[in-house]
């Protein structure tokens, strides 16, 4: 076993990172061909959502799991501390015999959890991920001039962030920045259909004025989509006209003020079914399209893609969709059929626009060819499919699922940047970040005053200075009545310094239910604050 694990000096490396109490935790990058039973797989070389390994961290217990990893990944990261002791000894022996240890550098640690795992487990990722985070922060500096923002954390992660922060001190030549931006814009325009003439949108109303309409539109979308999915499931003719009508309402609301729909979607995020996910994907598709300047008709097509992309899942066995553990090869093949099943059902009544068909057909395709159903690569994937892949993945990451807890929207954006270039189109990921905000509406954040707040609305000029709803005192005890603050107006804390966002947090960290504040803000909206 030892020699087989250590067969190649170039393919198995170790990365050491700091853990609580100063201990060193090793994650080994191991080719899938050299995996052994008993190894704990902590990280894949691609998004978990693109594989049947839904538990997001597991011990290889069967030959089937071993072979499945080899089918879907080139390499994985193995955590020694969670692996079988016999495997640990074999790896360490192999390391001592012939494997050079990669110079240890602290890396960004992300929380991934599963339904049954209890507390979140830090997963230490490789340098490629750190580089993705670096690109994200560099990008933030470009779109937020003069910002002092850096991705931050607390506790034993502080040293990790300190190292990453040093990377961000590098300054780029303004001419190089301008040239890159021009190249990005040209690349995106080349992908657009010739008939698409871009335009600029401005918010027509304040979020509080738009909230009542957004609320009604969202509720109507839920009812319509529920009926449509029921028809698809039973084999009846789906009512596409009703779907088009609700998407029209979504587009009108998003054009007026996209933050209102985003707030409603986030606060009503208690539906873990395909229903809630589909509506959010529709919103995100319209949001990125609006930001990029797609005309109204194209925004409608984008919304339809998001709403209808997963209707085929209603034809799948419930036991497969709600399975908490790893899918078998057969089950994963069944899941991938939802794309075809959805397209077949939707075309029974009337032809859908080519853009809609393209987006639905390609929303699980990936640039490196690892997606499905056709394994398309690079230029084979159109702009609608690329946009749908980003919106779909973002929604899945922040939505509760039977096999995994959600992560914060901010963390989800960071993950998109990590996978940009391999799975997703990086210029479109950048546009998506601008569209939904660095801290998306509904995100929970900790302020420099140590108060906990929810992001209420974006400032289009300074994306790191949104309007927020403060929920707690600095000691994290809840306020009787939430307080609204506009960080763009530079409110000051007790220390006399402008209040800023320290970090993104999870509601579970502080036993807060964000849905409790939906009614508060709706009441504020009705009072036209």
Yes or no: say if 428 and 188 are a contact pair by the CB < 8 Å rule.
Answer: yes
**Hey, which bits of 57-176 come out as E strands?**
58-59, 75-79, 109-112, 121-124
Compute the CA torsion angle 135, 136, 142, 148 (nearest 10 deg). -120
| 351, 247: one domain | yes
As given in the structure block, the two tokens for residue 307 are 């709403």
| 243, 107: one domain | no
Domain boundary among 99, 115, 131: 115
Cβ atoms within 10 Å of 529's Cβ, excluding its own: 10
| 371, 492: one domain | no
Sign of CA dihedral 34, 38, 43, 46: positive
| 349, 399: one domain | yes
Beta carbons within 8 Å of 110's beta carbon, 6+ residues apart: 122, 123, 125, 129, 407, 411, 414, 415
For 496, the domain range is 444-526
Yes or no: say if 397 and 415 are a contact pair by the CB < 8 Å rule.
Answer: yes
Q: N- to C-terminal Cα distance for the chain?
A: 68
Q: DSSP secondary-structure letter at 246?
A: H
| 461, 409: one domain | no
Cα three-residue angle 28-48-359, rounded to 5 degrees: 145
Please tell me the predicted confidence (pLDDT) of residue 196. Answer: 85
467/439 Cα distance (integer angstroms): 11
Alpha carbon separation from 206 to 256, 266, 453, 462, 479 (Å, rounded): 8, 18, 20, 17, 25
| 413, 292: one domain | yes
Q: DSSP secondary-structure letter at 353?
A: P
455/462 Cα distance (integer angstroms): 14
266/445 Cα distance (integer angstroms): 14
N residues, the chain: 529
Q: How many CA atoms lie within 13 A of 389 on its CB side?
A: 35
Q: DSSP secondary-structure letter at 401?
A: B
295/358 Cα distance (integer angstroms): 18
Alpha carbon separation from 49 to 394, 416, 422 (Å, rounded): 10, 12, 14
Domain count, the chain: 3
Q: CB under 8 Å, gap of 24 or more: what pairs does 198-201 form?
A: 198/292, 198/293, 198/294, 198/295, 199/293, 199/295, 200/293, 201/255, 201/290, 201/293
Domain boundary among 397, 415, 436: 436
Please tell me the predicted confidence (pLDDT) of residue 53. Answer: 76
| 409, 496: one domain | no
- pLDDT tens, residue by residue, 438-468: 888 888 889 999 999 999 888 776 777 889 9
For 254-276, give the DSSP string: HHH-HHHHHHHHHHTTT--SHHH
Q: In which residue are the tokens 């509406």 written?
A: 441
| 75, 223: one domain | no
As given in the structure block, the two tokens for residue 241 are 């006209």
Split the chain (529 residues) into runs of 10 and give each run's mean pLDDT.
Answer: 35 43 58 86 80 77 84 84 78 53 30 32 45 60 46 35 38 60 77 85 88 91 91 88 94 94 78 73 95 94 96 91 81 92 86 92 94 94 96 89 76 85 89 86 89 86 82 90 89 90 78 59 43
Domain boundary among 115, 138, 171: 115
Alpha carbon separation from 149 to 141, 325, 463 (Å, rounded): 8, 38, 11
- pLDDT tens, residue by residue, 11-55: 444 444 433 333 444 577 888 888 888 888 888 877 777 788 766
Alpha carbon separation from 373 to 171, 233, 318, 381 (Å, rounded): 42, 21, 21, 12
Where residue 341 sits, what CATH number does that domain have? 1.10.3210.10
| 45, 107: one domain | yes
- pLDDT tens, residue by residue, 95-135: 544 443 332 232 233 323 333 333 333 333 445 555 655 66
């Amino acid at each position: 076993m030892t020699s087989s694990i250590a067969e190649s000096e170039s393919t198995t490396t170790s990365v050491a990172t700091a853990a609580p109490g100063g201990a060193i935790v090793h994650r080994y990058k191991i080719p899938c061909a050299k995996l052994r039973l008993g190894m704990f797989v902590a990280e894949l070389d691609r998004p978990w959502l693109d594989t049947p390994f839904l538990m997001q961290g597991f011990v290889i217990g069967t030959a089937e799991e071993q072979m499945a990893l080899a089918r879907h990944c080139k390499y994985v990261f193995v955590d020694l501390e969670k692996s079988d002791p016999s495997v640990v000894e074999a790896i360490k022996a192999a390391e001592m015999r012939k494997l050079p240890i990669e110079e240890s550098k602290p890396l960004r640690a992300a929380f991934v959890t599963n339904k049954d795992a209890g507390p979140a487990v830090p997963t230490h990722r490789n340098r490629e991920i750190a580089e993705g985070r670096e690109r994200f922060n560099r990008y933030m500096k470009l779109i937020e001039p003069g910002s002092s923002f850096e991705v931050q954390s607390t506790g034993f992660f502080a040293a990790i962030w300190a190292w990453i922060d040093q990377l961000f001190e590098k300054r780029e030549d303004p001419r190089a920045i301008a040239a890159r931006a021009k190249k990005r814009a040209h690349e995106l325009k080349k992908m657009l259909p010739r008939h698409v003439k871009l335009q600029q949108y401005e918010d027509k109303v304040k979020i509080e004025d738009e909230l009542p309409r957004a609320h009604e539109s969202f509720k109507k979308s839920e009812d319509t989509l529920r009926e449509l999915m029921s028809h698809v499931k039973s084999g009846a003719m789906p009512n596409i006209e009703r779907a088009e009508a609700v998407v029209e309402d979504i587009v009108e609301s998003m054009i007026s003020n996209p933050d209102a729909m985003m707030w409603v979607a986030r606060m009503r995020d208690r539906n873990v079914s395909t229903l809630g996910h589909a509506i959010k994907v529709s919103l995100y598709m319209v949001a990125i399209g609006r930001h990029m300047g797609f005309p109204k008709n194209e925004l409608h097509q984008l919304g339809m893609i998001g709403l209808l992309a997963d209707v085929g899942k209603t034809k799948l066995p419930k036991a497969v969709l709600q399975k908490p553990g790893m899918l078998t090869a057969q089950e994963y093949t069944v899941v991938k059929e939802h794309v075809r099943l959805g397209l077949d059902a939707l075309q029974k009544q009337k032809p859908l626009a080519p853009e809609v068909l393209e987006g639905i057909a390609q929303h699980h395709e990936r640039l490196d060819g690892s997606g499905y159903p056709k394994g398309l690569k690079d230029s084979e994937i159109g702009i609608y499919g690329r946009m749908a892949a980003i919106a779909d993945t973002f929604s899945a990451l922040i939505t509760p699922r039977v096999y995994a807890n959600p992560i914060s929207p901010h963390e989800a954006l960071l993950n998109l940047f990590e996978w940009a270039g391999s799975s997703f189109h990086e210029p479109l990921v950048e546009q998506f970040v601008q569209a939904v905000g660095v801290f998306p509406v509904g995100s929970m954040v900790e302020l420099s005053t140590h108060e906990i707040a929810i992001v209420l609305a974006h400032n289009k000029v300074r994306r790191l200075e949104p309007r927020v709803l403060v929920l707690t005192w600095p000691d994290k005890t809840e306020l009787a009545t939430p307080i609204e603050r506009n960080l763009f107006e530079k409110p000051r804390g007790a220390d006399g310094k402008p209040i800023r966002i320290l970090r993104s947090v999870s509601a579970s960290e502080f036993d807060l239910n964000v849905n409790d504040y939906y009614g508060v803000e709706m009441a504020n909206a009705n009072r036209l604050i």
